[in-house]
Amino acid sequence: MTRFDAVIIGAGPAGATTALALARAGWSVALIEKVPFPRKKVCGEFMSATNAALFADLGIEAAIHAETGPEIRRVAIFAGTGTITAPMPQHAGKRSGWGVAVARERLDDLLVQNAVQAGATLLMPWRATALAPDGTDFICTIMDGAETKEIRAPVAVIAHGSWERGDLPTQNMRPHRPSDLLAFKARFRDAALASDLMPLIVFPGGYGGMVNSSGKTLSLTCCIRRDMLQDVRRRHQGSAADAVLAHIGAHCRGAREVLREAVLEAPPLAAGPIAPGIRPRYAQGFFRVGNLAGEAHPIVAEGISMAMQSGWLLARLLTSRTEVGQGRDLDAIGALYAKRWRQAFAPRIHAASLFAHLAMQPVAPALLGPVLTRFPAMLTLAARLSGKTRLDAFRDG
C-alpha cells in the first residue's frame, strides 16, 4: 500500500505518538524513520508526570511504567562548590505524581511498537528526501540505499526533530556560530546519586543534568557552547566528550562527587547544535510536531513531554475534526493546532530560555549557590514554571 490517511516523517517521541494516536482512531498511517530502532539518543531521559493522561488515553500506561526508573521527587542545583536541594513540585492533574526517567532507546522503541500494533505501517530504515503537494494529497519520497518509493497521503506530519541535516527544506541548518550549544550524553553505573534526585549542573560555558534512568544507570547530559568546547579541548585530552566530562568535574563539586566511583557504560554520544525556539507549527499544508515545531532549552528537561504532547494534541484535533482519509479543513485545523500549541508550550520554552541564559552567565556558579541556599523554594518554583505541574491546554483538546 502506498496511499495512507497520513504520512509521518520521523519516529521519535513526537512522530511515534502522533502515529499511535491516529492509528488508534482508525487512520491508516505511514511512519517513516531513517535509523533502525532501538537506537540511542542524546537526551537526559527525564519524563514529566504531565504525560500520565496521554499514556492512559493511548493505553500504554503499564508498558511505560515497566520501563521507567524511580520517581523524581527532588530537584537540585550543583553549581561550583554549592549543592542546593528542594522538593520537585507534584503534577496536579487527575493522575497526580512525579516524573521519572526512561532510557530513550526503550521509550522510542516502545512507542513505535505500539503504533505498529495499533495498525501503523512502519517504514524503517527509510529516509524521507522530499515532500510535495499533489492535488489534495502530499507525496513523500523515501529512500533506502538506492531504492526509492513514493508515499501518498492527504495529511503530512513532519517530526524529524531539529538537530540533523537532511534533504528536506525543514532540515537545512544555519551556519555554525561560536554561541551554538553542542550536546553530550554519558551513561554511568555505580554513580552515587540519590534515586529520587535530579540535579541541574552549572559549569562555565554550559549546563547539564543527571538522573537515575531505567536499567539502574545514571544519565548525564549537558550542553556546552562551541567556543567554550574549543577552549576546553585545548586543556583536556581525549575526545570532545572526555574533555567536557573533565571540564564538568573540574568546575562542579556535586557532579564530581556523584561520579567519583562511577564507570562509563559505553562511549558517550554527541549531537547538535541544538536549536531552541518556536517555529511554525503548520506551514504550506504540513503539520509539524516535536522539536521541529519548537524546542525548549534542555535545562528544563521537557522536550520528550512536549514532543509526545504535541503529537497527541495534533492527533486529537485531526481525528475530532476530519473524516478518516479526508484532508478537509486542514488550514483551520492548522491554525487551531498552532494556537493550542502556543498555549501549551510557549511558557515552557520562554522559562527554559531564561533559566539557560542565567545558568550560562560567567558569575552563575558563584551567585546561584548563595541565593538559592537562602531561597531553595525558588528551585521548586522554577520546576513549576518549566511545566512540571499542569497541562491546561489539553482540557478540551
Question: Of the two residues 27 and 345, which places its CB atom closer to ligand FAD in the complex?
Answer: 345
Closest separation between CB of residue 210 and ligand FAD, Å? 10
Q: Which stretch binds ligand FAD (CB under 6 A): 7-15, 85-93, 245-253, 255-263?
A: 7-15
Q: Please, what is the minimum distance in Å from the beta carbon of residue 106 to ligand FAD?
A: 14
Find the shortest distance in angstroms from Cβ 375 to ligand FAD: 25
Do the bridges between strand 29-32 and strand 6-9 make them parallel or antiparallel, or are there none, so unpaired?
parallel
Q: Which of 82, 290, 294, 334 binds ligand FAD (CB under 6 A)?
A: 290
Determine the interface stretch with ligand FAD among 19-27, 52-60, 161-169, 226-234 (rule: CB under 6 A): 161-169
- Whole-angstrom distance, CA of residue 272 vs CA of residue 206: 14
- The residue among 79 and 306 lying less far from ligand FAD, judged by its C-beta, is 306
Choose, by CB under 6 A, the member of 183, 193, 224, 349 that binds ligand FAD.
Answer: 183
Give residue for cell 519524563. 47
Exposure on the CB side of residue 48, measured as CA atoms within 13 A: 30
Residue 202 bridge partners (DSSP): 79, 207
Cα–Cα distance measured from residue 302 to residue 358, given in angstroms and rounded to the nearest whole number: 18
d(CA 56, CA 51): 9
Which residue lies nearer to ligand FAD by CB, 70 or 325? 70
Q: Which residues of 166-196 are buried (b: 16+ CB within 10 A; e: fewer)?
A: bebebbeeeeeeeebbbbbbbbbeebebeeb
Q: List the one residue from 5, 137, 180, 302 that touches ligand FAD (CB under 6 A).
A: 302
Partner residues linked to 187 by β-bridges: 219
- Cα distances (angstroms) measured from residue 70 to each of 40, 59, 165, 316: 20, 21, 35, 30
Q: Segment 209-248, which members bind ligand FAD (CB under 6 A)?
A: 221, 223
Which residue in the set 25, 35, 246, 278 belongs to the binding site for ligand FAD (CB under 6 A)?
Answer: 35
Minimum CB–partner distance for residue 328 and ligand FAD (Å): 27
Considering only the stretches 157-165, 187-195, 199-207, 316-324, report the one whose residues sit in contact with ligand FAD under the rule CB under 6 A: 157-165
Q: Cβ neighbours of residue 143 under 8 Å, at least 6 residues apart?
A: 126, 127, 129, 149
Between residue 304 and residue 363, which ones bind ligand FAD under the rule CB under 6 A? 304-305, 307
* Positions that interact with ligand FAD (CB under 6 A): 9-15, 32-35, 41-47, 127-128, 159-161, 164, 166, 168, 183, 221, 223, 274, 290-291, 298, 301-305, 307
